[in-house]
Chains A and B, each alone.
Chain A
Amino acid sequence: MSVAAGGGESKIDKTKLTMYGVGGGILGMYLAHVLNMLTGTGYFSFLAGLGAIAAVVMGADAVRRVCAYGIGTGVPSIGMMAMGMGLVAAMFGLAIAGVAGPIIGVAIAMGFGYLMGILANKVIKMNIPVMEEVLMSLGAAGAIVILSLSVVISGEINYLDMLNDVVFTGYIAIVFIAGALAILQPFNANLGPDETQDRTLVLAISTGALGMFAAGIGSLITVGVGGGVLTMLIAAAIWLKAFLWFFKLVKRDSAGVVGTGLLPEGGL
Chain B
Amino acid sequence: MSTFDATTLVYVFQIIIGGLLVGVGVHFVPVGGAPAAMAQATGVGTGTVQLATGSGLTGLISAGLMMSVAPDNMLLIVMSGAVGAMIMINVTMLVGNWSYVYAVGVPPVSGKVDYDPITKDPQPPYIAPGTVGHGVPTVSYVSGTIGGLMGGAGGSLIYYALMNINGISGLSAFFAIGIFVVNAVIASYNIQGTIEGFHDPKFKRLPKAIQSCFVATLIIGIFAVLIHGGV
Contact = CB atoms under 8 A, between A and B. Distances in A.
A173 B215 contact: no
A4 interface: no
Nearest to A105: B223
Nearest to A87: B178
Summarize B's interface: helix, strand, loop or mixed: helix
B220 interface: yes
Given A88-B223, A92-B227, A1 B174 contact: no
B181 interface: yes
Interface stretch (B93-101, B110-118, B182-190): B182-190
A76 B223 contact: no
Contact of B178 (A85, A96, A115, A170): A85
Contact of B223 (A108, A119, A176): A108
Contacts of B189: 71-73, 77, 120, 124, 126
Interface stretch (A159-167, A193-201, A223-231, A241-249): A159-167
Nearest to A115: B219
A78 B193 CA distance: 12
A114 to B, nearest CB: 11
Contact of A84 (B47, B177, B188, B193): B177
B195 to A, nearest CB: 11
Among A84, A89, A159, A176, the one with the most B-chain Cβ atoms within 10 Å of its Cβ is A84
Contacts of A77: 47-49, 184-185, 188-189, 193
A88 B208 contact: no
Nearest to A166: B170
A92 B178 CA distance: 13
Interface in B169-205: 170-171, 174-175, 177-182, 184-186, 188-190, 192-194
A73 B193 contact: yes
B168 A76 contact: no
A56 interface: no
A123 B208 contact: yes
Interface string A1-23: 11100000000000000000000
B224 A88 contact: yes
Contact of B53 (A74, A78, A80, A172): A80
A234 interface: no
Contact of B1 (A78, A89, A91, A95): A95
Interface in A68-103: 71-74, 76-78, 80-81, 83-85, 87-89, 91-92, 95-96
A87 B220 CA distance: 11
10 contacts: A72-B192, A77-B184, A77-B185, A77-B193, A81-B181, A88-B179, A116-B186, A123-B211, A163-B230, A167-B174
Interface of B: 1, 33-34, 47-50, 53, 168, 170-171, 174-175, 177-182, 184-186, 188-190, 192-194, 208-209, 211-212, 215-216, 219-220, 223-224, 226-230
Interface of A: 1-3, 71-74, 76-78, 80-81, 83-85, 87-89, 91-92, 95-96, 108, 112, 115-116, 119-120, 123-126, 159-160, 163, 167-168, 170, 172-173, 176
Given A72-B189, A73-B188, A88-B175, 17 more contacts: A71-B193, A73-B49, A73-B185, A76-B47, A77-B47, A77-B193, A81-B49, A84-B185, A87-B177, A88-B178, A92-B224, A115-B215, A120-B189, A124-B208, A124-B209, A159-B230, A172-B170
